[in-house]
Amino acid sequence: MCDTFVALGSATHNDNVIFGKNSDRPYNERQPVVYIPKQKHNSNIDLKCTYISIPQVEETNAVLLSKPSWMWGAEMGANEYNVVIGNEAIFDTREPMWPPSLLGMDLVRLALERSSTAAQAVHLMCDLLETYGQGGFCAENDPTLMYHNSFLIADPTEAWVLETVGKWWIGQQIKDGIRNISNRLSIRSEYTISRNGIIDYAIEQGYCDNEAEFDFAKCFTKGTYLEPSRYSREGWGKHLLRSNYGEISPIIMMEILRDHFGGICMHGAFRTTASQVSNISKNKAVHWMTGSPHPCISFFKPFVVPTQKDPSECDIFELREKFNLLENDSLVQELHSLEQELIQNIEQKLQTDNWSIADIQYLTQEALNRELSLISL
């Protein structure tokens, strides 16, 4: 399922880029926060992704990932160059599923490890897609869960929506304002880049009659393409972004991810397993990760990349599962009060030159200690 959001420039409270994503996954799947430092590699060896191997590169970036524990790839994350990426499952397309190759989550991690800008990440993902394709089971114990992918990629200056079906892709650049994606194709006739031959292919397949009629979402969606209802997750998410235009901050993005009216915070057999909010400027970025299910009851903790501490120390997924916060309103309120205090503290630090990675690392550890003490009572 999933929802991913971005607000840039005039849409935010401080002209930064604010990114947010909920990862909605099968109920029993574990999704910890993982940090992988910058590494050098032997480029003559292959890299084993979830299902296939591809050539390794000589050096990979430091990355912070929120990843299902059984797969190589990641649902969302950030790198040391302040690039952030989240992916979405796309089901209702006219194109068949591919045999096991790269998962959309593999593409997320590969782009974070190998790119220093959002545009570079987009081009890398497109090259990998054309070379290897996408496909394979997307859940550990469910061979029926397979899908194509869309992505929202952002850096300190811009964002991109990249939508893919098989080896076909199309991209839309966002320089200002708001954008969100859910589990459907959304790029219509206004796009920035596309795979060579995509219009000819759509005409050959009978998806449209001529170049003037080419509409990516309409052409590649199975059945009749309809604009999302305001009360769908995608439509309601767009409404929440518009309602807060000019004031969007990390706190507001967290509130959007916690929304139940539109089903953005998901409960049930598929649930919101983990969440991320990133506040990005040219030289500074703080990434707030829950590392636990349901943002409505979770505590967003701050991280920076690169870091000197291993965020695996913040892996509280199992502990949170044993502690049912759904039935403890007062404790949730206390966690959220602590969260807002932390955000305001860090926002003040980011506005000054007196800022260091060590400051955030200290606050991260303090936040974790406070969270653990509260849920262990």
Nearest one of 241, 192, 182, 180 to 216, comparing CA atoms: 192
Distance from CA of residue 325 to its chain's centroid?
25
C-alpha–C-alpha distance, residues 212 and 359, integer Å: 55
Question: What are the backbone angles phi and psi of residue 225, rounded to the nearest 5°?
Answer: -85, 130
The residue type at 202: A
Backbone torsion region of residue 316, taken as left when φ is above 0, otherwise alpha when ψ lies between -120 and 50, otherwise beta:
alpha
Cis-peptide into 68, omega within 30 deg: no
Question: What are the backbone angles phi and psi of residue 181, rounded to the nearest 5°?
Answer: -135, 150
> Which member of 2, 49, 219, 265 is catalytic?
2
The 3-state secondary structure of the chain reads CCEEEEEEECCECCEEEEEEEEEEEECCCCCCEEEECCEECCCCCEEECCCCEEECCCEECCEEEECCCCCCCCCEEEECCCCEEEEEEECCECCCCECCCECHHHHHHHHHHHCCCHHHHHHHHHHHHHHHCEECCCCCCCCCCCCEEEEEEECCCCEEEEEEECCEEEEEEECCEEEEECCCCCCCCCCCEECCCHHHHHHHCCCCCCHHHCCHHHHHECCCCCCCCCCCHHHHHHHHHHHCCCCECHHHHHHHHCCCCCCCCCCCCEEEEEEEEEEECCCCEEEEECCCCCCCCCCCEEECCCCCCCHHHHCCHHHHHHCCHHHCHHHHHHHHHHHHHHHHHHHHHHCCCCCCHHHHHHHHHHHHHHHHHHHCC
Question: Has 2 been annotated as catalytic?
Answer: yes
Q: Are 208 and 214 in contact (CB under 8 A)?
A: yes
Catalytic residues: 2
